[in-house]
Amino acid sequence: MLYPLNTETRTVLSLNGIWQFQMQVPDEPRDPKQPLTDPDNIAVPASFNDQTTNLKLRHHDGYVWYERQLTIPHVLSEQRLSLRFGSATHEAWVYVNGIAVGHHKGGFTPFELPINDAAHVGENRITVKISNLLDDTTLPVGNYSETTDDAGHRIPHVDENFDFFNYAGLNRNVDLLATPWNRLEDITITPQIDLKANTADVTVHSETTQASGRIQVILRDASDTVVATGTGRDSAIHLDQIHLWQPLNAYLYHAQVTLLAEDGSVLDSYTEPFGLRTVAVKAGQFLINDRPFYFKGFGKHEDTYINGRGLNEAANVLDLNLLKHMGANSFRTSHYPYSEEMMRLCDREGIVVIDEVPAVGLMPGFDFNVSSKANSPKNNPYWHQVKTQAAHQQAIQEMIGRDKNHASVVIWSLANEPATHIEGAHDYFAPLFKLAKQLDPQQRPCTYINIMMATPKRDTCSDLADILCLNRYYGWYIQTGDLDAAAVAETQELQAWQAKYPTKPIMFTEFGADTLPGLHSAYNEPFSEEYQVNYYAMNAKVFDGITNFVGEQLWNFADFQTKVGIGRVQGNRKGIFNRAREPKAAATWLAHRWQAIPNFNYKN
């Protein structure tokens, strides 16, 4: 799917701003043909939850309604008109002037709906019904239940099977697109790079809505100089003396794709940025441009004050500046695809990304007890009862379809902490890995994020992963407060993984300790800033002793909001920054470590 851009043939009108909003009363559906009555105001893009003083709305499970007016100018009346949503969390039904124009399920990827049959020149009314409900068929996975109030209304309830707040709404940009009827529908850029010759053969595949017309491709370098041209829906273009996209040293080319009529007039035009780099897994190393790369960075969340999970471009810029300032080079989009704006920013900044689908909560029950009986691998029917396969396939298709051209994306993560220690997981995941490999023209490595119970002896899916990504909390959830014992156990497990898969790289994609800013202890007590520093120092010593260990992405970049519970104090406090992006002591310690570690050849 193409990102919305204004070009000589395309017009993008932003529908961001103040919309009208209403929470639906349970069991009392409303008619979208009628305007909202007595609505509130709500900002888009942003989650609705933190824009209110209404406690019921903040924790509302069910349906909400968004509405606004749209004026369509006469100059656009002959073009194809569509509404494009960067996301709608988690399910949306869209109406124009009370007429249904489309539906999308899945809260973290974009969708586009044509509206010409429902809209007209002048004033129009856009209405969007959104559900934030999650259950055992959705991604993320939620525990769904219902109760009945005194009036007999069915009240839905969602208990998240994951550890972050279920922020919802129109979290990303909403736009009106005006495009030609005969237009470019998608562009796929696949480079084949010869590093020794410093050349590249670039295939630019263009999909159009009609068979008529011919394709012209012009490649420009970062200085906007034309470096090559091509023709055809599968343009094969050779480049000499190429500039590589490197971690923290980004270089982007641009492919201008033009759809021409037979008389040479322009029907449609679009420009797609791309970078030239190679990614490979070889001999226990993760290679970028054939050099052993070491991941330094974080798991993150799209989570800021007031915006919730809503797009916050100022926060995105600050987060990447803080990341680079510390000497970090990467992050994982835990636990869902992040906004297109963030992905494009990472391309420009040279930030390496592990891109993850919203497959979180694929376990019998979420809690903080790693020995919970619910997650017992013996006689556990979980994978024989799970109902998320269709949603999982859709999520993979939409993530790769959206992000396939991003140079910053080097790994696809197909799940976070699934119960791969339970029998049946391999049958569930094998077709998903096959699908991801089929969909990605660049054949990036694929992985899943391994849960702590899935040890080298108990895990059933590690053969599917190109790189072993482990979430481990030695010294926190187990060996709590005893860093000496934690170091021994952690070392033993990593050695066991390396012995089992001597050619696979290993990295930690989560490790961390909840820390309250300003809490100090002379006795290295958990939750203190001293303990967090010593925790990371212990892990660093272990990491440096494992040959195939290729990266450390700690949990978490910043404190973030979670559901209410006595296991959390105003959310998850494992951030090395608080939610306002103010550093804890560990941020300084980690900066000293990471600034001393080169991006390449650290373990050589």
Query: 175 lies in a domain?
Result: yes
Nearest-5° Cα angle at 301, 297 to 307: 135
Active-site residue 510, yes or no? Answer: yes
Q: Residue 373: what pLDDT? A: 60
Out of 147, 179, 211, a domain closes at 179
Asked if 163 and 266 sit in the same domain, the reply is: no
Asked if 214 and 109 sit in the same domain, the reply is: no
Concatenated DSSP letters of 550-595:
EEEEES-SB-B---S-TT-SSSB---SB-TT-PBPHHHHHHHHHHH
Q: Token pair of 114, please? A: 């044509």
- Tally of structural domains, the chain: 3
Query: 283 lies in a domain?
Result: yes
pLDDT tops 70 at residue 368: no
Q: Token pair of 566, please? A: 């006595």
pLDDT band at 27 (very low <50, low <70, confident <90, very high): confident
Asked if 80 and 151 sit in the same domain, the reply is: yes
For 119-138, the pLDDT digits (tens) are: 999 999 999 999 999 999 99
SS3 letters across 501-517: CCCCCEEEEECCCCECC
Asked if 228 and 242 sit in the same domain, the reply is: yes
Mean local confidence (pLDDT), 264-284: 98
- Nearest one of 183, 159, 368 to 270, comparing CA atoms: 183
Out of 251, 274, 297, a domain closes at 274
Asked if 164 and 200 sit in the same domain, the reply is: no
pLDDT band at 564 (very low <50, low <70, confident <90, very high): confident
Under 8 Å between Cβ of 90 and 122: no
Under 8 Å between Cβ of 237 and 276: no
Out of 127, 161, 179, a domain closes at 179
Query: 484 lies in a domain?
Result: yes
Q: Look-up: residue for tokens 């209410």?
A: 564
Query: 603 lies in a domain?
Result: no
Domain span at 190: 184-274
- Name the catalytic one among 160, 272, 356, 510: 510
Q: Residue 372: what pLDDT? A: 65
For 438-479, the pLDDT digits (tens) are: 999 999 999 999 999 999 999 999 999 999 999 999 999 999
Q: Residue 129: what pLDDT? A: 98
Instruction: Give the contacts of 210 (CB within 8 A, at least 6 positions apart).
Output: 181, 182
Q: First vs last Cα of the chain: how many Å apart?
A: 40
- Cβ-based neighbour number of residue 286 at 10 Å: 26
Under 8 Å between Cβ of 511 and 552: yes
Asked if 307 and 257 sit in the same domain, the reply is: no
* More confident position, 375 or 590: 590
Q: Residue 146: what pLDDT? A: 95
Asked if 175 and 190 sit in the same domain, the reply is: no
State the Cα–Cα distance between residues 207 and 281, nearest whole angstrom.
31
Asked if 464 and 342 sit in the same domain, the reply is: yes
State the Cα–Cα distance between residues 5 and 77, nearest whole angstrom.
19
Task: Give the CA distances from residue 172 to residues 15, 102, 129, 190, 309, in Å, rounded to whole numbers and listed in that order.
Answer: 11, 18, 15, 28, 9
Q: Residue 369: what pLDDT? A: 65
Share of the chain above pLDDT 70, in %: 99
Asked if 126 and 21 sit in the same domain, the reply is: yes
Task: Give the CA distances from residue 37 to residues 23, 27, 52, in Å, rounded to whole numbers and listed in that order.
Answer: 11, 17, 18
Q: Is the pTM of this model over 0.95?
A: yes
Q: What is the mean pLDDT of the chain?
A: 96
CATH number at residue 91: 2.60.120.260
Asked if 454 and 428 sit in the same domain, the reply is: yes
Query: 259 lies in a domain?
Result: yes
Query: 601 lies in a domain?
Result: no
Q: Token pair of 370, please? A: 């790693």
- Name the catalytic one among 340, 417, 490, 529: 417
CATH number at residue 488: 3.20.20.80
pLDDT tops 80 at residue 26: yes
- Cβ-based neighbour number of residue 152 at 10 Å: 7
* More confident position, 353 or 566: 353
For 197-238, the pLDDT digits (tens) are: 999 999 999 999 999 999 999 999 999 999 999 999 999 999
Asked if 153 and 190 sit in the same domain, the reply is: no
- Nearest one of 447, 473, 452, 477 to 462, comparing CA atoms: 447
Query: 241 lies in a domain?
Result: yes
- Nearest one of 285, 250, 349 to 601, comparing CA atoms: 285
Mean local confidence (pLDDT), 266-280: 98
State the Cα–Cα distance between residues 526 and 217, nearest whole angstrom.
58
Q: Look-up: residue for tokens 């916050």?
A: 312
pLDDT tops 80 at residue 371: no
Query: 5 lies in a domain?
Result: no
State the Cα–Cα distance between residues 237 and 204, nearest whole angstrom.
8
State the Cα–Cα distance between residues 323 and 544, nearest whole angstrom.
21
* More confident position, 59 or 566: 59
Q: Name the region of 232 (left: φ>0; alpha: ψ -120 to 50; beta: rest).
A: left
pLDDT tops 90 at residue 406: yes
pLDDT band at 25 (very low <50, low <70, confident <90, very high): confident
pLDDT band at 484 (very low <50, low <70, confident <90, very high): very high
pLDDT tops 70 at residue 374: no
Task: Give the CA distances from residue 418 to residues 18, 363, 382, 534, in Å, rounded to whole numbers and listed in that order.
Answer: 39, 6, 11, 29
Under 8 Å between Cβ of 255 and 204: yes
State the Cα–Cα distance between residues 297 and 300, nearest whole angstrom.
9
Under 8 Å between Cβ of 583 and 577: yes
pLDDT tops 90 at residue 378: no
Asked if 63 and 127 sit in the same domain, the reply is: yes
CATH number at residue 239: 2.60.40.10
